[in-house]
Structure 1
Amino acid sequence: MHRNHPLTPATLPRRGFLSNLGATMAGVLTIGVATRATTASAKSRPAQVSNALSQDTWLDGLDGQHGQIFEAPALHGGAALKQARNFLDVYRDVYDLESSEVDVAIAAHGSALSLFFQDRVWEKFGLGERFDVKDPRTGTAARRNVFASREEGGIVPADASVEALQERGVIFLLCNNSLNGLVGKLAHAGFGTPEAVRADILAALLPGAQVVPAAVVALSRAQEKGLSYVYSGG
């Protein structure tokens, strides 16, 4: 990964520099081999729905030359999706880097969680009414996830849909704290017990979506891995 800063002689005491340098180079070689093996394994696996709380597994595949994580605190017309698309497009069109060479993640909380729910969640829990999202096909409150699939004339361009971005390797993260908050509101509205509502939602995440303990921690962890940060608040 090219985002790390190399050690220089100026940062080390003169005595022991050569021995430290030798140990460092040996460690770099070992890490490089392990990273390539892990990356190859991760990229060969198909995306799967994660119903359990994911902590740091999503960090394993972050090996691109450049990377960015987008914080999506609300739907805002799919702003985070469009920004992620633009980020990948510029690196492809201007810098000749394919999406496999660039890391992109979206950390969703608040109403943005619903970007990554299947249609049946939108319909069952009336998320279109709850979040004031209209379906371009009907002009009424959305009963499906209008951000999920490629669709001309949709809320977001077809190539900025969740489906299109997933194919380009974008990582989708959902804040567990926000999820618990949404579950509580839906349960209070009469949709069932919190346990039943949570089970319904987790069983209907879009492929590749992962629930993490907290978006704020995911943002921190991504930046520790070298990704830059963008607020997609609209």
Structure 2
Amino acid sequence: MNNARRGMLGFMTSGLATLTLGGGSTAHAESAQSSLRTLIPEGTSTLSLLNQSLEKTPRRRDFKSVPMILTHPDEWDDEALRLVFQYQGQHKQVFDNVVLDGPWLNLMRNTLNTQIWAFGHKDFLVVSGTHGPAHLALYDDYLWEKYQLSQLTQGKFKDNSFLKVSAAAQTDPAQYEDITGAFSPLDNSIPVLQSRGVVFLACHNAIFELATRLHKSDVNPDHRSIPQLAAELTNHLIDGAVLTPGVMGTMPELGARGFYYAK
């Protein structure tokens, strides 16, 4: 993997692993699928610096119980989130992504393509403000199976297909006009977008609401309380996700720092 390229998070996953730790410790977020290369244009020093910083930034994934409203920075990925806030690139956009079965991944891919090749903004940063039903895409396969999350999609998704990488990701990135290539609609997935620099923000409020729903529906094999369920959901966020105290409440913070808003 070329560290000189723009790799906003550099965190890629097949959906099989997340950072799940015990003993009150923290760990550095690492790539779970190192075979997936970064699909980044050259000449993006600001994003390269951000990438290197985020790769060294710990994510806490050892929660035992979490409250409904987060009040202390150690309850979310504060350090990683502040790195996003402080991004020095001029061109940056946050997407309000709430509909799981909508075109949200495709819209972010198209936006990247336009900004990079039409307008020449190689350092363009896309942030996915992921919440509501779309937040199901930010849980690993373990949670999808244990808590039968496919049932919450009305049968539209049998598993977390948003984490599956297609063969298009392995095509020559120099051929950016290839209609079956790495930048085409055939390559819409969370890991591939992460390899292009997209940051996926996770939402504590969406986590707590899902925990409440699971608790009420008795999809709770370990008989956990709602705060305990929310902790387990948090511990199984996909690699590279940046946990926020609430996505919609974080949007104004991003707007105040120059991020364009997209619905």
Please indicate, yes or no, whether the TM-score normalized by the shorter chain is above 0.5: yes
- 3-state SS, counterpart of residue 94 of structure 2: strand
Unaligned runs of 5+ in 2: 1-44, 62-74, 169-183
The letter of the residue matching 1:218 is T
1:109 to 1:44, Cα distance in 2 relative to 1, 3 A: closer
The number of equivalent residue pairs is 184
Superposition map of 1:134-149 within 5 A: 134-135=156-157, 142=158, 144-149=159-164
1:169 aligns with 2:194: no
The letter of the residue matching 1:66 is H
Superposition map of 1:157-196 within 5 A: 157-190=185-218, 191=220, 192-193=223-224, 194-196=226-228
Instruction: Give the TM-score normalised by the residue count of structure 1.
Output: 0.69
Paired position in structure 2 for 1:222: 254
The letter of the residue matching 1:150 is V
Match of 1:71 among 96, 99, 103: 96
Match of 1:88 among 85, 99, 112: 112
1:104 to 1:124, Cα distance in 2 relative to 1, 3 A: same
Unaligned runs of 5+ in 1: 1-35, 136-141
1:58 to 1:189, Cα distance in 2 relative to 1, 3 A: same
Match of 1:43 among 52, 55, 60: 52
Paired position in structure 2 for 1:115: 137
Deviations 1:186-228 (A, max 9, x none): 1222213224422332222111112211212211111111111
Paired position in structure 2 for 1:53: 76
Structure having the higher helix fraction is 1
Report the Cα distance in structure 1 between the residues aligned to 2:79 and 2:53, rounded to whole angstroms.
19
% of aligned pairs identical? 24
RMSD between superposed Cα atoms in Å: 2.8
Paired position in structure 2 for 1:23: none
Report the Cα distance in structure 1 between the residues aligned to 2:47 and 2:113, rounded to whole angstroms.
26
Report the Cα distance in structure 1 between the residues aligned to 2:50 and 2:105, rounded to whole angstroms.
27
